[in-house]
Amino acid sequence: MKVLAIDYGTKRIGLAVGDTRLGVGVPLGSLLNKGEGTLLQIAEKVKEQSVSLVLLGLPLTPKGKEGQRAKEVRGFFQKLKEVLPEGVEVLLWDERYTTLEAYRMLEGQSEKKKKELKDSLSAYAILLEYLESL
């Protein structure tokens, strides 16, 4: 099954895609968060990649509680479900520490490169955690 992982941000949204049968994934880059247009771009990626499951990172506090950012993500979650093709499942996935993991992957890179890649690598970290949980 093909899976699209999303790291939601108010400015940029990171994407990564993987396959549960193969247990592999790749970062897909990021999109500028421009509201409705970005939702449609994600829906198009889902179609292009034949995705059956979308994982949306839910930013919980270190104690596992939901704060303001989690509320924003839940709003995005509702809107995303409305634009995706029928039959595509959307799950919220605990994304604690995925940005930290992305920075570990970028160790030694320039600040410009880190800024450019951190969102898609955060989505990739979400995807890897999901694949490892199977």
User: What CATH number corresponds to the domain at position 64?
Assistant: 3.30.420.140
Residues in a beta bridge with 42: none
Domain that holds residue 93: 2-133
Domains of the chain: total: 1
What does the DSSP assignment read for 40-58? Answer: HHHHHHHHHTT-SEEEEEE
The pTM of this model reads 0.92
- Give me the half-sphere count of Cα atoms (radius 13 Å) on the Cβ side of residue 120: 16
Confirm if 103 and 67 have CB atoms less than 8 A apart.
Answer: no
What tens digit of pLDDT does each residue of 66-118 get?
989 999 999 999 999 999 999 999 999 999 877 777 768 778 878 887 777 88
Q: Give CA–CA dist 71/46, Å, rounded.
A: 24
* Residue type for position 60: L
